[in-house]
Amino acid sequence: MRLTGFQVIECTANLMIGKPGGWAWGWGTVGFRVVRVLLVGGGGREHALALGLVGDPAVTALIAAPGNPGIADVAELRAVNATDPAAVAALAVEVEADLVVIGPEAPLVAGVADAVRAKGIAVFGPSAEAARLEGSKTFAKDVMTAAGVPTARAYTCADEESTARALDEFGVPYVVKDDGLAAGKGVVVTDDRSAALAHARDCGRVVVEEFLDGPEVSLFVVTDGEAAVPLLPAQDFKRIGDGDTGPNTGGMGAYAPVPWAPPGLVDDVMRDVVHPTLAELRGRGTPFAGLLYVGLAMTAEGPRVIEFNARFGDPETQVVLALLETPLGGLLHAAATGTLAGHPPLRWRPGAAVTVVLAAQGYPAAPRTGDVITGADRPGIIHAGTARRASDGALLSAGGRVLCGTATGTDLAAARDSAYALVDGVELAGSQHRTDIAAAAIDGRITIPG
């Protein structure tokens, strides 16, 4: 039998979606149908999500707001203030979206998911109350304490006197975190007490923590509030310079999978961290549905939570989704509609993935923008902070993290070589990138404290 146009075919575990000229598999929950998706955001994470969504044969249309020049190659772009709940909800109604996927944290904390749900539209992303897991470090610590989640001891401080006491109790290295959203750059880890105090003054309200010694791992978990499905662990690189030197950034690169991680890591984190956290939030009347990002330190005492985020991480999303073989639209739709328990097991491509971020001159303190970019029109180049010049369509830098080169390979070494080849082919005046992404993992130089 041959179908003309798109039709919905329900079956017990997956769907066959008829397309002109043949069949395609749309893996999802029972009753998942062809959908129009609105993707909110315009960074590298959203470009990676866009590529994953258009690769799902069940997604018939993708609209991105506001998007970026890279996303424009695969989606219709619409202008919107992404942190205005009413504006995003109105746009979702206007474009007749069946599913809204919210990429960045600021719209989630602002309540965009709540406004979209109020229109009766499925949305992948937690409520504003549940997104406080990322929006407030203090709230996250309260939840972890109540749920018995292993994490660092910490104090919330709003004045210099209490901050100084906390610093003296925990000692060096000092860890001071902005209590609110800071785009991944609100954390200072330093041996300089005066620098720690200065950061606290700049932030106003901070969480001072004991330092967790050990390599870091990021674990993404897709959840509908009850069921939870882990993705592949990844490792990202937060410091601007090689050898983890210089200030923190939003992330300068990542790789997946993590060859040095203990075999039972994911199961342990799901048991000891994810399910207790989800249960605690349900008990508070604020179930978390969307993407729970668990940032972990692999200490001598076992995995300890550094932070929670309420959305896909950037740049880890680029490598994790590059290896995901299961269609993305069906997975996110299942989480958005409370049917994740019926979703088939995830399927992964063999091999590894590496992404290397190309940042603007002056990033992270004062990135320079407006420079012409060439060589960014190849598969594997993910746009993060780019724009088109109106006069001639030239591609320009428009943010701190401008592009990243993302590649897969039979192993980490092959993926790394290909990722750096992509970055090396881009020309951007004054640009900077780390040269050691995934190198220590390939060389076997990462160890967990014993």
**CATH placement of domain 153-209:** 3.30.1490.20
Could you read off the pLDDT of 65-87 as tens digits, one per residue? Answer: 999 999 999 999 999 999 999 99
Q: What number is the average pLDDT over the span 402-409? A: 98
Q: What number is the average pLDDT over the span 315-337? A: 98
What is the C-alpha to C-alpha distance for residues 97 and 444, in angstroms, rounded to an integer?
A: 46
Q: What are phi and psi of 42, to 5 degrees?
A: -155, 30
- Residue 354 region, left (φ>0) first, then alpha (ψ -120 to 50), else beta? beta
Instruction: Tell me the pTM.
Output: 0.91
Could you read off the pLDDT of 98-137 as tens digits, one per residue? Answer: 999 999 999 999 999 999 999 999 999 999 999 999 999 9
Distances (CA, A) of 203 to 102, 110, 196, 197, 385: 27, 20, 11, 10, 25
The ranges of the chain annotated as CATH 3.30.1490.20 are: 153-209
**CATH placement of domain 35-128:** 3.40.50.20
Which CATH superfamily, name and number, covers 216-443?
ATP-grasp fold, B domain (3.30.470.20)
The ranges of the chain annotated as CATH 3.40.50.20 are: 35-128
Pair type for strands 99-102 and 122-124: parallel
Q: What number is the average pLDDT over the span 174-188? A: 81
The ranges of the chain annotated as CATH 3.30.470.20 are: 216-443
| Geometric angle at alpha carbon 13, from 29 and 56, rounded to 5° | 55
Q: Which is nearest to 332 in space by CA: 290, 389, 369?
A: 290
